[in-house]
Chain A
């Protein structure tokens, strides 16, 4: 009706729209600041955000025992790694109090979360609790839990790369290779790509392959950085890029640059590859007849030696931390104390899930569930292991994207040195910016 056009003038509409935006903005900001604010009641559950992993599943199966222990309900959410990371970004950016215990990847997220002030300082808890035995944790994973002199997480699952191989094919040729050169020769000999059989399968995605490739880099004598300077175009690093690129380009499956764990693992599980290097924690996938055709023929060996020896990564893949915004910090610590304590660590490692406690690794009972050759490979990995598998920076995602570029060039059969030099220059710029962020 025309009356509305009279009273609904442009100016009054503008005024109302602005007022509405401000009101909405204020409401949203207040809402964000006050997510679940106030004192927790006895009914407030302890909220645990966890990765969808066999470790979390084992804990979830025993959670009633913990609920009885603290007299509080526990709400455990299990997500994939990317979903979990994005959830933290959304919830903790809003200072949300609906996260108490956080499962984090110490090497991927801890520096950034610490910079953001999202992780509570656990130093007092871990060092002030004699029963927790903080010094029982392996040195490399324990070292990764500390940022800026503060303990921000407690490692619960550790990983080293293992060499998975087809015993029926490789043993007649003299057994699993002990050097990278021998593995290359065998992979090239065994590869029959026309017939759909590959000498080697492994991760080839720019970002995802970096953690696997790091063991090749260390074993060639290289490093991501030295004294804060990029070293990805050094001779050793280029040799490692070229080696891994050739391995996947000449002996690997088609489309390798699109392969992460989810794509590479099934190829080996279906008997279509002779060798596969990936985390030792996934070995159960090859023993499960529902998804594997190689449960009778899979063999396990330590990471082969390169020119600088066998230097696989030995890292805490998943750790537990407490959100800085948690209102149930003591209960959250009680959970960590229970789930990462000596008894539970031994019990869970006994299920075939490798942990970070020396006491569990030195207890033959906890290793009995692992195949003997895998247990040997794991033990060797913990002895020679390097406590990193990606650049030690705030923006790990961006760093991996840069470092992974020459890797992709190698897998695609392109010349590596030029791409490595270009990536090196980009990485050097990145390190300057990352340092600036760290100091800010």
Chain B
């Protein structure tokens, strides 16, 4: 209901509108135009940066574009989508790795982040230092992190194996091994992104009222029971938001995988996720049609994950 409608007088026959009414209408019209004018830059930006690339990618995905984007190309319908979905050598293993990497890393980050947030909930001496140290991995660029860990974990010259030997443990191949690469990269992701989960959950915890927990304490609930039955349910909304943000980010992980394992996600494609695969199709193979189809499928997959998480979150809340 508009305030202008409330103040508008009842119609009184075909007589010409009075002056204040005319002024009011002119104001409404200019107000409407002004709104569009104010919205235009944002819409133009969204159009240029999101809508156009999406439509362009969608269009490319229906073509056999190869070599150069602006080269002659023919429409092949949904053939690229079928090719991708029938590809058990690269596409489906990449989907599996994307899911494993995301679930594994985000799960560990959530548990560790929640634990750290609970520990840091109450102020203690040196908490400011702890918080500062905690955000250092967040501030470092992923490529630098990749190179740093590559040096640390180098099977021959890296410090990690020297440390393992010092404490009597066998040397490991880490990123040089087909089987250890993905778990190692998940742990590097955990090292980098757990602080973000901690900070998000800490912010959520700081908004919770103290009374329910105090009441549970009076009723004799122990620390675990207070956490499980009082704090966790109240924290659900924050937790779901953090999970959605982090999951979408983890699904799209590229830089650290590429920096440590190179094109194709390693010699046996051992860390090739959907993002690395579509990058390779674009820049290493110049198969723009197929790459666009994989990207469209990947986008739908991400949207599906977000919808699923939000629906589960709403149910839990």
Task: List the interface of chain A (C-beta within 8 A of B).
Answer: 1-4, 6-8, 16-17, 20-25, 27-28, 82, 85-86, 89, 92-95, 112, 115-118, 196, 204-208, 253-260, 263, 266-267, 270, 272, 394-395, 397-398, 401, 404, 408, 411-412, 426, 437, 440
If A20-B47, A116-B71 touch, whether A28 touches B52 (CB-CB below 8 Å) is yes
Q: Is the CB of B69 closer than 8 A to any CB of chain A?
A: yes
Within 8 A of A (CB), among B11-48: 28, 31-32, 35-36, 39-40, 43-44, 46-48
Q: How far is the CB of B45 from chain A (nearest CB, A)?
A: 8
Interface residue total, chain B, C-beta cutoff 8 A? 54
Task: List the interface of chain B (C-beta within 8 A of A).
Answer: 1-4, 28, 31-32, 35-36, 39-40, 43-44, 46-48, 51-52, 55-56, 66-72, 89, 154-157, 171, 173-178, 181, 261-264, 266-268, 280, 282-287
**Residues of B with C-beta under 8 A to A2:** 1-3
If A25-B56, A272-B156, A397-B285 touch, whether A408 touches B267 (CB-CB below 8 Å) is yes
B175 is contacted by which of A258, A398, A426 (Cβ under 8 Å)? A258
Task: Verify A24–B267 contact, CB threshold 8 A.
Answer: no
5 further A-B contacts with Cβ under 8 Å, apart from A116-B71, A426-B89, are A20-B40, A25-B47, A95-B70, A255-B174, A408-B267
Q: How far is the CB of B12 from chain A (nearest CB, A)?
A: 23
Which of A24, A92, A118, A267 counts the most B-chain CB atoms under 10 A from its CB? A24
If A16-B39, A118-B68 touch, whether A21 touches B55 (CB-CB below 8 Å) is yes
Task: Verify A25–B264 contact, CB threshold 8 A.
Answer: no
- Give how many A-B residue pairs fall within 8 Å (CB-CB): 142
**Residues of A with C-beta under 8 A to B156:** 196, 253-255, 267, 272
Q: How far is the CB of A30 from chain B (nearest CB, A)?
A: 12
**Residues of A with C-beta under 8 A to B286:** 89, 112, 395
If A2-B1, A25-B52 touch, whether A112 touches B67 (CB-CB below 8 Å) is yes
Task: Verify B47–A24 contact, CB threshold 8 A.
Answer: yes
**Residues of B with C-beta under 8 A to A259:** 176
Task: Verify B283–A20 contact, CB threshold 8 A.
Answer: no
Task: Verify B174–A16 contact, CB threshold 8 A.
Answer: no
Q: How far is the CB of A206 from chain B (nearest CB, A)?
A: 4
**Residues of B with C-beta under 8 A to A253:** 155-156
**Residues of B with C-beta under 8 A to A4:** 35
Task: Verify A93–B70 contact, CB threshold 8 A.
Answer: yes
Task: Verify A255–B155 contact, CB threshold 8 A.
Answer: yes
Task: Verify A254–B171 contact, CB threshold 8 A.
Answer: yes
Residue of A nearest to B279 (CB): A86
Residue of B nearest to A404 (CB): B267
A256 is contacted by which of B55, B171, B176, B262 (Cβ under 8 Å)? B176
Task: Verify B175–A93 contact, CB threshold 8 A.
Answer: no
Determine the distance from Cα of A258 to Cα of B266 in the docked complex, in whole angstroms: 7
If A3-B4, A206-B264, A267-B157 touch, whether A24 touches B284 (CB-CB below 8 Å) is no
Task: Verify B44–A24 contact, CB threshold 8 A.
Answer: yes
Residue of A nearest to B51 (CB): A21
